[in-house]
Amino acid sequence: MKVMITGGGTGGHIYPALSIAERLKIEYKGIDILYMGAKLGMEKDIVPKTGVAFRQIDVAPLNKKISPKTIKALGVLIKGLFQARREIKRFKPDLIIGTGGYVAGPIVMIGALMGIPTIIHEQNAFPGMTNKILSRFVDRILVTFEEARAHFKHKEKVVFTGLPVLESFHTVSRDYARQRLGIAKDEFVIMTVGGSNGALKLNQVMMETYAALVEYPKIKIFHVSGNRYFENINEKIKAGQYTVGKNFKLISFMKEMPIYLNAVDLVISRAGASTINEIIAARTPAIVIPSPNVANNHQFHNAKVVDRNGMGIIIKEEDLNTELMEHTILNFYAEPSKLEIMRCNCDKIEHIKPLDAIMNEIGLLLKEHEI
């Protein structure tokens, strides 16, 4: 059997696709998988390292406002459609799976029009434009949040599966994680995560906030800045602009998220779909600050899942400031019982096995098409 998988632009699209690819290898011996990515996407650096076969096409975001950039992007899109058709004819997949991002559009669309069974997975509570368009043509629409169902016209195609995250988010124990990171039992630990690329305002406000918290020796901090902000922040620490103290650790990119999320008392993060699901899996209380710079404000819709279920609180970026963050953190520090309630509320979310549910839908679709 041959399966073509596509998704890119951010880790939130790439890592679920790779999780599905790895599970497919286990379920279907001798399977041939090809990952289709964008020539300028993050996937070009991530996917080849996994050993999954990888090819690329040209894609570009379409701006709703007519401009020279829009015309150029339209030309790239047309080119990408022809490239998608060429790659599909060459590989001859039995199934195509798209996990979002601009690259999924041409691949899944052409595949569906060619009569190939197609599946899309929507990570966000509010679907992106690409998946909304593709939903008219595909066989299955898999969703991470039940809230997404209402935004798709063809509800008979929609199946709630959840989002695949590493099993270790569920299984790493809090005691083991804290011991691994050298955290004392009486320390209050915070982690800040600004998404794959980091976040400018979040970095600025939190560095100022952590400098203000330096007088609290029992508060320990892990700050994940993102690669593009790491050097700048590090230089400011060395220059004494941020007096963060010895209980502060600056990290450029988080490679051991299951360990850190299970160890900390509180995470302050963006609201990407992967991050939200990892927070829920690790049962980590959260202050969620949705990015205002994403399509359809989908991070705010993701964040509302956390807020509505009592797993954390939302702070809008427009309200983000040092005084508010210092007050909020110290409030949790003084009343840790509030965080324990949030941990318990994480358990109320249905923890189905997303990959099991996704594999089930793949199996049903293949059976329908007698593959």
Identity at 63, one-letter amino acid code: N
Sequence-distant (6+) residues with CB within 8 A of 21 are 3, 5, 33, 35, 50, 52
Assign 3-state DSSP to the chain and report helix, strand, coil percentages, each to 5.
50, 15, 35
| Residue 209 Cα distances to 60, 244, 332, angstroms | 38, 9, 15
Coil, helix or strand at residue 132? helix
Give dist(CA 180, CA 183) in Å, integer: 8
Binding site members for UDP-N-acetyl-alpha-D-glucosamine? 10-12, 124, 196, 299
Three-class SS state of 269: strand
List residues forming the annotated binding site.
10-12, 124, 196, 299
C-alpha span between 103 and 64 (Å, rounded): 18
Which residues have C-beta within 8 Å of that of residue 344, sequence separation ≥ 6?
A: none
Q: Which long-range contacts (CB under 8 A, 24 or more apart) does 344-349 make?
A: 345/309, 345/310, 345/311, 346/279, 346/280, 346/283, 346/284, 346/309, 346/311, 347/283, 348/309, 349/280, 349/309, 349/311
Are the C-beta atoms of 221 and 190 separated by less than 8 Å? yes
Give the SS3 label for residue 250.
Answer: strand
